[in-house]
Amino acid sequence: MEWITLILTVSIVIISFNLLFGKSHPNAPPCIRGWIPWFGAAFEFGKAPLHFIQQARDKYGPVFTVVAAGKRLTFVTLNEDFRAFFTSKDVDFEQAVQEAVHNTASINKDCFYKTHPTCATIIKGRLTPGNTAMLSVHLCEEFNDHLENLGSKGTGQLNEIIKSVMYPAVMSNLLGRCNSPSNSLTRQEFLEKFTTYDEGFEYGSQLPDLFLKQWANSKRWLLSLLRNMAIRAQETLYNENDGKTLLQHLASTISDKYLPNYGLLLLWASLANAIPITFWAIAFILANPEAYKIAMDQINVALRDQDKEKTRVTLDDLQHMPYVKWCIMEAIRLRAPGAITRKVVRPLKLRNYVIPPGDLLMLSPYWAHRNPKYFPDPEDFKPERWEMADLEKNVHLEGFVAFGGGKNQCPGRWYAVMELHMFVALILYKFEFTPLDPIPKPSPLHLVGTQQPDGPCRVRYKHK
């Protein structure tokens, strides 16, 4: 169901928007030259918010405000302003996302403000490059096991094939083997519930459960699942040493009733973006014969004719496949989140504007990555552009903001790139794929998270 339909259902109708342009005194509220009651704009914003951002920027300039569902969303679109977005003391990340966290994970405001900084520190500490190396051996084993479950050949949606492998493997790696779906029936039930939760996450972050019954049921099911996982994590907490899972590390800090809720957020964060990016990376590689040849040449040399069932991929092996990593980074660039947000807590001066407290400050990585100043031929899939970055030192291309910035930069970014790099190398090494559909376009409906495919992408596969 489209966002605008949901909003209309509960009579939260976008009835107008205003645009900020012209000069303002540094201590004055924004100069508003136009307050335009235009339902057409509201409809377009609701129908295709991702496209609306660029259209509004082209028409009204680099800073503009949309009033939607009673909230002022002020978009900044110039790279020169991104530093203020990520580092200014006049904006706040936790206040921007608190309501969404409450709606999607049922964590109240006081608990979130109290525990989020500690949780973020734990996740960042446990998913450093050094600790990621320790996780990689087990993750490779899990990928191998679940890839073998695909059988010798078959046909299916590429996205669903990836989900069937990555969901249980990553859950086992971060939450513990005992917490990974153990058979095909439980995997299928989890897949259905989590897919419903993930696909409705953006709507659920804004609307009461009353209007999203199926999504709310999936949320409750997942919270119940996480409660059982949390109990197991706490029961084994002191029986583990260096092998503690990320969930167990959280359990040692969050001992109250909200541990399952944070576990749900961790689960969503670790799966929701990784799956579609893996899909796009593989789809782009399969659709570009030259990219596929270069990637496979590096994969075959690095893995040196290993066993196709129990393939061992080390971090050293991954360093010998730089082009595969470039393909992944290019997929991230092209399909980055539609918008990320901060809340303005004190008057914020940007260029000729003063953004008032209370506004949600919005930045679109999706459109930032289409700035030809930083990314020539921005719509083209060009993995070779990443040769200019120093990815081994986690130095990205200028203008790349998919992982955010400042103190709230994605704490799991090293793990995410490692898991994608390993999975893409493994599945291409083990299987031959024949695309049956062209690459779908990204859906224009969502602002939260990685862009989802807007159409089918079937493949025929065969185990090598």
Q: Show binding-site residues for heme.
A: 410
b/e per residue, 433-463, with b = 16+ CB within 10 A?
beeeeebbebeebbbbbbbbbeeebebebee
Specify whether 246 is located in the same domain as 119. yes
Contacts 24+ apart (CB under 8 A), 176-182: 176/229, 176/232, 176/233, 176/236, 176/245, 176/247, 176/248, 178/232, 178/236, 179/229, 179/232, 179/233, 179/245, 179/247, 180/142
Residues 92 and 149 in one domain: no
Residues 312 and 382 both lie in one domain: yes
Position 118 in a domain: yes
Tell me, yes or no, whether 346 lies in a domain. no
Higher pLDDT, 51 or 109: 109
Does residue 1 sit in helix, strand or coil? coil
pLDDT of the residue at 24: 34
168-189 per-position pLDDT tens digit: 999 888 888 888 777 776 888 8
Residues 169 and 313 in one domain: yes
pLDDT value at position 252? 78
> What integer pLDDT is reported at residue 118 of this predicted model?
87
- What mean pLDDT comes out for the span 108-112? 91
Beta strands 17-20; 340-344: pairing state: unpaired
**Pairing verdict, β 32-36 and 340-344:** unpaired
The answer, yes or no, to whether residue 56 has pLDDT greater than 90, is no
For residue 45, the model assigns a pLDDT of 58
Q: What is residue 429's predicted lDDT score, i.e. its pLDDT?
A: 97
CB 34 within 8 A of CB 17: no
Q: Is the pLDDT of residue 23 over 70?
A: no
**Least confident residue range of 148-152, 363-367, 412-416, 446-450:** 446-450
Query: Do 313 and 453 lie in a common domain?
Result: yes
Number of domains present in the structure of the chain: 2
* Residue 20 to residue 73: CA distance in whole angstroms: 11
Nearest to 423 by CA among 300, 287, 343, 313: 313
Which amino acids are annotated as binding site, given as ranges?
A: 273, 410
Q: What's the one-letter identity of residue 379?
A: E
In the predicted structure, residue 11 carries a pLDDT above the cut 70: no
If asked whether residues 116 and 209 sit together in one domain, one would say yes
Residue ending a domain, choose from 41, 67, 99:
99
- Whether residue 318 is contained in a domain is answered as yes
In this predicted model, what pLDDT tens digit does every residue of 310-351 receive, in sequence order? 999 999 999 999 999 999 999 999 999 999 999 999 999 988
User: What integer pLDDT is reported at residue 324 of this predicted model?
Assistant: 98
Looking at the structure, tell me whether residues 68 and 113 fall in a common domain: no
Same domain membership, residue 137 and residue 95: no
Q: Return the higher-pLDDT residue of 463 and 22.
A: 463
Looking at residue 201, which CATH number applies to its domain? 1.10.630.10
Model confidence pLDDT, tens digit, residues 230-284: 887 777 755 444 567 888 888 877 767 888 999 899 889 888 899 999 999 999 9
Residue 21 has pLDDT above 70, yes or no: no
Domain annotation covers residue 38: yes
Q: How far apart are CA 431 and CA 152, in angstroms?
A: 9
**How far does the chain reach from its first CA to its final CA, in angstroms?**
40
Q: How far is CA 314 from the centre of its chain?
A: 25
Residue 163 in any domain: the answer is: yes
Q: Judge if 249 and 302 occupy the same domain.
A: yes
Boundaries of domain holding 11:
3-99
Question: Is residue 84 domain-shared with residue 149, that is, in the same domain?
Answer: no
CA 65 to chain centre: 25
Detail the residues annotated as belonging to a binding site for substrate: 273
CA–CA gap between residue 381 and residue 334 (Å, rounded): 8
Mean pLDDT of 195-218: 90
Most confident by average pLDDT, 4-13, 16-25, 196-205: 196-205
Residue 155 near residue 459, CB atoms below 8 Å: yes
